């Protein structure tokens, strides 16, 4: 690397490449050689608790930096060795390591993006490290006249020494076994790494080679004379030469067909940095238009990701990104905070996700595009030293009687131990068994001498704490039994979180969910949501959106052609919630579409199962990000053009028209952002905001107490935000401190607030304000009581003497409340905002302008429940309006409810605003304008048309060559109410079930298997084409299938792949719309086991529209009978031979229903049918419910004997 033209303070740290100018540089660098700690190094840095260690140890800057996705930002800064310039840096190509070498010959490595120190050792005592290169077995270090190889732990592998006259500067790894070494001499050496000897010496022109690169065509050699030579890969002969600069060359890089250089030009009898980068096309071997940049380039590297970006670095730490064939923009300049030091080295990781800068003060700056950036695409596992066993021994508490003595390491000896007492001195005293729980004795039933009792689950399974002392009888009393199944596995007297707020789980049995009592958790007619689906943490926010009437109507009117549209899926889910009468629903299809949105994955909203189960995720911060994402996504989706005519009603829908969005009308607020530079230039930008984030006042830790703030005051400061920041000024043409202010031009109909209580600082602020509010309310009630006593003493005395009456509101109802139930917001004519706390029952005065003054009532609070035992959960308090109560319960009133997945319970309004910060953290607030619903059209027009049943193209490429398995409905066959439709569905498994084996040998299901519908078949139930399918859709899936269940589903690998499938392949949304249309028309579905089918398809269907043959041929308290056995017994059909076929199963279910009508004479002869069922069960028990294989039975539905067919 050529360091000529840099700041003069660097001259003594590098070998002069131009002896003529080095003398003038040497006179000005004496002050830079002070090895002591330079105070300027540590400005604006927060050092770790260990302090600064000067003997080669690092000083790490632990301050975390928020990274912007898609851009490079500073992640960490560490000090390799204080005051010693960093001369070389390199990202390891095999391990997740970053190597740096300094002017003192010391090498240090750091592990991963957290920059943890991995190894540190001295490479050379006299010379600086000039280049570092990693290989499979170790790391190469180039000094002035030797090449050394060390293991990554610091053990030397070889030391190749050259002549003292050599002055090496560059190293190039040509393959795994050889390297090229170049410097300020007339030759380049090739070293064989296996033999550690020189294998070839190539002659070059003076002044030598200081930079080397390689492509698939040439070796590229950079010279201090400003030239770049292209040499043959085999013979190293000169093929071409570019004269780039008149002064000297500082750096160059090659990518594809482009060569880009930076360097110095001779001007005014000296060298000056040239701001023109020379660009060469290697196809034509000539220069193309040079690239002018806005920084003084010292280093440059290609960072090819989506484009061939260039990173240009100056010695002062400025970094500019641009395209080599485009124009450089000043907006793409970033600054490395070197605290006045100069950048000495620069490197890019092989993954292109991390950059490293080394400066003259010994600091190493790591920049990355994300906090979890990796240095290599596929790194091997890094070896770490074995920990010292002595340092890792656990602390032993000798007062613990249950401490296992096996934790004490004992040496292997042959002599007897001191603790081996003779038998004569020992008395065997067995531990007494603990007493049997009184609850077990109370519920126990005896059969002979054996007692049976249900497990009260008051103790941990397979763990019995022995009480060695009689005084410990009262310790850890487990006698309290919860009165409901909520929290039966906890010791309730040690539990802080109320039971209704704890995370609810579904207990699965052999019958799955059929015998689970959801009514115990939800006695209302509102529908809960099941929590066992991946990413179901957002259940509470789905309920929030559903219970906002304009959103509910809007998304149910929305329908588009996109396969994965969250607006459409929300509309389908809300339709299910409307139909439900207290039964829980599941958001599986919505969450399936949610997982496919790339923006959701980029924002970290898609959780792995392990993250949800272990509680590693901050759910409060996550749900606030989800809230911002869903509002933005719905706003964008409903602004787009609607889908094709087949997906719309004939009259069209005004909700989904282009450029118009109900989401924007509801939540949108026009915001004016003003940036004022100190030069006086003002820039105004207008945007739209769908929500606001609370910005809390800066609290000085030195202050003894936090002063009181009203919620309205903090809210106004958060909306009309003012902050100081660095921004680009067009007038000054550089980054300048600017004052950024935000004002709103209009008021939203629904004010959405993210609370951002993500640290103890915000929690303490919220807690202090609640205490202030409690004292104010108590003082106010005292004054009102005194005033009443003075004005009406008789009434006061009667009030005090009334039994059970107290003038004071319950203190429990006033605790932990800061935010008001209502607020008033007024926007003056000059757009100044006024925010005031308001009372819920108070309206506007007649003098106030109703157009610019809004009253908002609190309708939603979302809270994060901190529960270390379950990992925490999210709940919502929602003020349900009159329209929902009218639809669900037939009454007209408003009521607050707690929504905790499938637990729904009415609560008092004070509970919705109470936040005990020890376990209940506020996350999201919704304030709705009074009389909100009167502004919006709340009619729902079903957008699904009959045209969805008509013929459609298959996604499979090969399907057109194969015979179709169904005939679509004709216009004259369109279904009518009460028409019969035979239905069957087949499924595949996405995730296997999680179960545990109890100590008594029984199996307990922890989490059921996740199924996905793979094939849906509908057959005609009447008419001349009865039994002919009109839907036979195979459902394409983008998720990984772990089990195709071919024996039971008939689905084979490849059937769901559009590239190789020969089936009629469609999207789930397309088939879902067909079934929704059939349900809305009012047809009756006939099938076997339809309850599970509709559950996996995620459809809610009225019970009167389902005819399930599994229940038609079933006796109470008896087993369910398979379709295969029923078909053999009643229809003399043998079905489901090797695999299942949904067409065959749907036809058979229709025929069984016809047979049922025949046997019961259309419901008239019930007693006779009961006798037939008894004969069925007797036959089944005799045959063990298996169909005989050897018996010759008819296998075609056409040959079955029906009098009516």
- The tens digit of pLDDT for each residue in 234-260 reads 899 999 999 999 899 999 999 989 999
Per residue in 50-104, pLDDT tens?
Answer: 333 434 444 444 444 444 445 788 999 999 898 899 999 999 999 999 999 999 9
DSSP string covering 223-236:
-TTSEEEEEETTT-
Question: What is the SS3 assignment for 1025?
Answer: coil
Greater pLDDT, 1049 or 489: 1049
CA distance 295 to 317: 9
Determine phi and psi for 308, rounding to 5 degrees: -90, 70
Per residue in 733-773, pLDDT tens?
Answer: 888 888 889 999 889 999 999 999 988 889 999 999 999 98
pLDDT surpasses 80 at 725: yes
Residue 868 — pLDDT band, cuts 50, 70, 90? confident
The two three-digit tokens of residue 866, written as one number: 């901190």
Percent of the chain past pLDDT 70, that is, above it, reads 82
Rounded to whole angstroms, what are the CA distances from 647 to 517, 596, 1037? Answer: 38, 22, 21
Per residue in 491-511, pLDDT tens?
Answer: 443 457 888 999 888 877 666
* Helix, strand and coil in the chain, % to nearest 5: 25, 30, 50
**Low-confidence winner among 148-152, 167-171, 414-418 (lowest mean pLDDT):** 414-418
Intra-chain end-to-end CA distance of the chain, in Å: 93
Residue 430 — pLDDT band, cuts 50, 70, 90? confident
- Give me the residues paired with residue 834 across strands: 826
So what's the pLDDT on residue 844? 77
Question: What is the SS3 assignment for 364?
Answer: strand
**Low-confidence winner among 190-204, 268-282, 1110-1124, 1187-1201 (lowest mean pLDDT):** 1187-1201
The two three-digit tokens of residue 824, written as one number: 């008033």
Note the residue count of the chain.
1205
Determine phi and psi for 65, rounding to 5 degrees: -120, 130
Residue 882 — pLDDT band, cuts 50, 70, 90? confident
Helices in 760-814 by DSSP H: which ranges?
760-791, 793-801, 811-814
CA distance 884 to 453: 44
Q: Is 916 in contact with 865 (CB distance < 8 Å)? A: no
CA distance 1096 to 985: 9
Pairing of the two strands 168-175 and 86-91: unpaired
So what's the pLDDT on residue 19? 37
Rounded to whole angstroms, what are the CA distances from 377 to 253, 354, 367, 380? Answer: 21, 12, 17, 10
pLDDT surpasses 90 at 228: yes
Per residue in 991-1038, pLDDT tens?
Answer: 877 777 766 667 777 777 788 899 999 999 998 999 999 999 999 887
Give all strands (DSSP E) within 426-474, no chain letters.
445-447, 450-452
Radius of gyration, CA atoms only, the chain: 38
pLDDT surpasses 50 at 344: yes
pLDDT surpasses 60 at 1118: yes
pLDDT surpasses 60 at 191: yes
So what's the pLDDT on residue 569? 92
Residue 831 — pLDDT band, cuts 50, 70, 90? confident
Which of 584, 483, 568 has the alpha carbon at shortest distance from 524? 584
Which DSSP symbol is given to 831? -
Give all strands (DSSP E) within 113-217, no chain letters.
116-122, 131-134, 139-142, 146-150, 156-161, 168-175, 178-183, 187-192, 197-203, 211-214
Q: Is 333 in contact with 318 (CB distance < 8 Å)? A: yes
Determine phi and psi for 1037, rounding to 5 degrees: -130, 140
So what's the pLDDT on residue 644? 39
Residue 486 — pLDDT band, cuts 50, 70, 90? very low
CA distance 1151 to 1131: 8
Q: Is 88 in contact with 143 (CB distance < 8 Å)? A: no
**Low-confidence winner among 164-173, 353-362, 933-942 (lowest mean pLDDT):** 933-942
Q: Is 720 in contact with 744 (CB distance < 8 Å)? A: yes
- Give me the residues paired with residue 728 across strands: 735
Whether pTM > 0.75 for this model: the answer is: no
Q: Is 1030 in contact with 966 (CB distance < 8 Å)? A: yes
Within 13 Å and on the Cβ side, how many CA atoms surround 613? 9
What average pLDDT does range 714-732 have in this prediction? 87
Residues whose CB falls within 8 Å of the CB of residue 53, separated by 6 or more in sequence, listed in order: 59
Per residue in 266-285, pLDDT tens?
Answer: 887 788 899 999 999 999 99
Per residue in 618-636, pLDDT tens?
Answer: 899 999 999 999 999 999 8
């Amino acid at each position: 690397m050529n360091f000529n033209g840099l700041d003069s303070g660097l001259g003594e740290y590098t070998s002069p490449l131009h002896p003529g100018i080095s003398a003038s540089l040497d006179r000005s660098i004496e002050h830079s050689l002070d090895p002591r700690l330079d105070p300027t190094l540590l400005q604006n840095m927060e050092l770790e608790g260990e302090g600064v260690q000067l003997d080669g140890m690092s000083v790490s800057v632990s301050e975390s930096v928020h990274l912007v996705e898609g851009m490079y930002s500073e992640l960490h800064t560490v000090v390799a060795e204080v005051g010693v310039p960093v001369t070389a840096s390199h990202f390891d190509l095999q391990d997740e390591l970053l190597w740096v070498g300094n002017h003192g010959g010391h090498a240090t490595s750091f592990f991963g993006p957290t920059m943890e120190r991995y190894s540190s050792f001295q490479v050379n005592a006299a010379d600086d490290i000039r280049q570092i290169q990693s290989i499979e077995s170790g790391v190469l270090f180039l000094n002035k006249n030797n090449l050394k190889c060390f293991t990554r732990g610091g053990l030397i592998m070889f030391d190749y020494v050259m002549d003292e006259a050599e002055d090496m500067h560059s190293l190039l790894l040509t393959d795994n076994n050889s390297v090229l070494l170049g410097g300020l001499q007339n030759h380049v050496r090739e070293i064989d790494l296996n033999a550690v000897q020189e294998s070839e010496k190539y002659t070059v022109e003076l002044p030598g080679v200081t930079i080397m690169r390689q492509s698939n065509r040439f070796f590229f050699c950079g010279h201090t004379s400003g030239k770049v030579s292209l040499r043959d890969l085999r013979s190293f002969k000169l093929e071409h030469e570019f004269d780039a600069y008149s002064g000297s060359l500082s750096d160059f890089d090659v990518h594809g067909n482009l060569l880009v250089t930076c360097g110095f030009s001779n001007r005014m009898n000296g060298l000056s940095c040239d701001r023109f980068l020379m660009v060469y096309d290697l196809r034509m071997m000539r220069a193309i238009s040079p690239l002018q940049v806005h920084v003084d380039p010292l280093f440059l590297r290609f960072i090819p990701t989506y484009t061939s970006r260039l990173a240009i670095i100056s010695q002062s730490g400025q970094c500019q990104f641009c395209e080599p064939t485009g124009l450089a923009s000043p907006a793409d300049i970033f600054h490395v905070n070197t605290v006045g030091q100069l950048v000495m080295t620069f490197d890019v990781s092989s993954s292109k996700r991390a950059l490293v800068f080394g400066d003259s003060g010994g600091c190493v700056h790591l920049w990355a595009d994300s906090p979890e950036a990796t240095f290599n695409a596929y790194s091997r596992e890094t070896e770490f030293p074995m920990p010292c066993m002595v340092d890792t021994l656990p602390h032993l508490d000798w007062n613990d009687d249950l401490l296992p003595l096996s934790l004490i390491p004992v040496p292997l000896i042959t002599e007897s131990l001191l603790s081996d007492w003779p038998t004569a001195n020992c008395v065997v005293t067995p531990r007494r068994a603990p007493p049997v729980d009184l609850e077990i004795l109370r519920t126990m039933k005896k059969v002979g001498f054996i007692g049976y009792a249900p497990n009260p689950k008051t103790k941990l399974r397979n763990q019995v704490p022995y009480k060695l002392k009689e005084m410990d009888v009262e310790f850890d009393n487990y006698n309290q039994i919860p009165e409901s199944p909520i929290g039966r596995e906890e010791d309730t007297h040690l539990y802080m979180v109320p039971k209704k707020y704890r995370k609810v789980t579904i207990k699965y049995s052999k019958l799955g969910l059929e015998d689970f009592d959801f009514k115990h958790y939800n006695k209302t007619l509102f529908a809960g949501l099941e929590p066992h689906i991946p990413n179901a943490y957002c259940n509470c926010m789905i309920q929030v959106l559903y219970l906002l009437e304009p959103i509910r109507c809007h998304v149910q009117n929305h329908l588009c052609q996109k396969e994965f549209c969250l607006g459409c899926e929300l509309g389908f889910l809300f339709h299910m919630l409307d139909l439900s009468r207290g039964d829980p629903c599941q958001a599986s299809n919505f969450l399936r579409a949610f997982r496919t949105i790339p923006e959701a994955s980029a924002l970290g909203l898609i959780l792995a199962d392990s993250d949800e189960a272990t509680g590693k995720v901050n759910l409060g911060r996550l749900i606030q990000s989800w809230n911002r994402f869903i509002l933005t996504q719905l706003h964008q989706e409903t602004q787009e053009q609607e889908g094709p005519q087949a997906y719309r009603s004939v009259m069209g829908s005004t909700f989904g028209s282009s450029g118009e969005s109900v989401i924007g009308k509801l939540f949108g607020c026009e915001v004016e952002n003003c940036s004022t530079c100190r030069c006086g230039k003002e820039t105004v930008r207008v945007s739209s905001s769908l929500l606001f984030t609370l910005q809390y006042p800066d609290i000085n830790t030195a202050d003894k107490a936090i002063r009181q703030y009203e919620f309205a005051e903090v809210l106004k400061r958060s909306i009309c935000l003012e902050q100081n920041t660095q921004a680009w000024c067009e007038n000054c043409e550089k980054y300048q401190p600017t004052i950024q202010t935000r004002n709103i031009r209009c008021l939203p109909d629904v004010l959405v607030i993210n609370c951002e209580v993500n640290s103890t600082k915000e929690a303490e602020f919220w807690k202090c304000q609640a205490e202030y509010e409690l004292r104010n309310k108590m003082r106010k009630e005292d004054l009102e009581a005194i005033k009443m006593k003075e004005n009406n003493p008789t009434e006061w005395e009667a009030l005090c003497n009334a039994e059970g009456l107290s003038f004071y509101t319950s203190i429990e109802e006033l605790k932990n409340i800061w935010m008001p139930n209502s607020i008033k917001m007024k926007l003056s004519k000059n757009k100044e905002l006024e925010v005031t706390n308001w009372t819920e029952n108070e309206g506007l005065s007649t003098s106030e302008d109703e157009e610019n003054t809004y009253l908002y009532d609190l309708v939603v609070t979302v809270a994060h429940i901190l529960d270390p035992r379950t990992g925490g959960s999210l709940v919502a308090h929602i003020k349900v309006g009159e329209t929902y109560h009218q639809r669900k319960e037939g009454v007209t009133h408003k009521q607050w409810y707690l929504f905790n997945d499938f637990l729904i319970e009415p609560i008092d309004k004070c509970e919705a605003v109470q936040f005990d910060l020890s376990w209940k953290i506020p996350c999201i607030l919704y304030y709705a304008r009074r009389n909100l619903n009167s502004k919006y059209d709340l009619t729902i027009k079903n957008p699904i048309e009959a045209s969805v049943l008509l013929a459609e193209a298959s996604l499979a490429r090969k399907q057109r060559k194969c015979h179709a398995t169904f005939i679509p409905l004709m216009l004259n066959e369109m279904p009518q109410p009460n028409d019969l439709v035979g239905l069957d569905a087949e499924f595949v498994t996405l995730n296997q079930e999680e179960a545990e084996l109890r100590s008594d040998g029984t199996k307990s299901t922890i989490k059921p298997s996740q199924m996905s519908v793979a094939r849906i078949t509908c057959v005609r139930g009447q008419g001349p084409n009865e039994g002919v399918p009109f839907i036979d859709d195979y459902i394409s899936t983008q998720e990984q299938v772990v089990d195709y269940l071919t024996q039971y589903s008939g689905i084979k690998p490849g059937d769901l792949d559009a590239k190789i499938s020969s089936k009629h392949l469609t999207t789930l949304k397309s088939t879902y719309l067909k079934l929704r249309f059939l349900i809305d028309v009012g047809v009756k579905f006939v099938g076997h086991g339809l309850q599970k089918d509709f559950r996996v398809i995620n459809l809610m269907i009225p019970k009167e529209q389902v005819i399930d043959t599994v229940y038609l041929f079933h006796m109470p308290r008896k087993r369910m009978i398979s379709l295969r056995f029923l078909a053999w017994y009643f229809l003399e059909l043998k079905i489901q031979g090797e695999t299942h076929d949904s067409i065959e199963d749907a036809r058979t279910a229709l025929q069984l229903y016809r047979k049922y009508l025949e046997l019961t004479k259309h419901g008239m002869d019930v007693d006779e049918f009961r006798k037939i069922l008894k004969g069925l069960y007797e036959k089944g028990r005799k045959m063990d419910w298996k169909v005989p294989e050897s018996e010759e039975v008819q296998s075609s539905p056409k040959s079955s004997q029906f009098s009516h067919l």
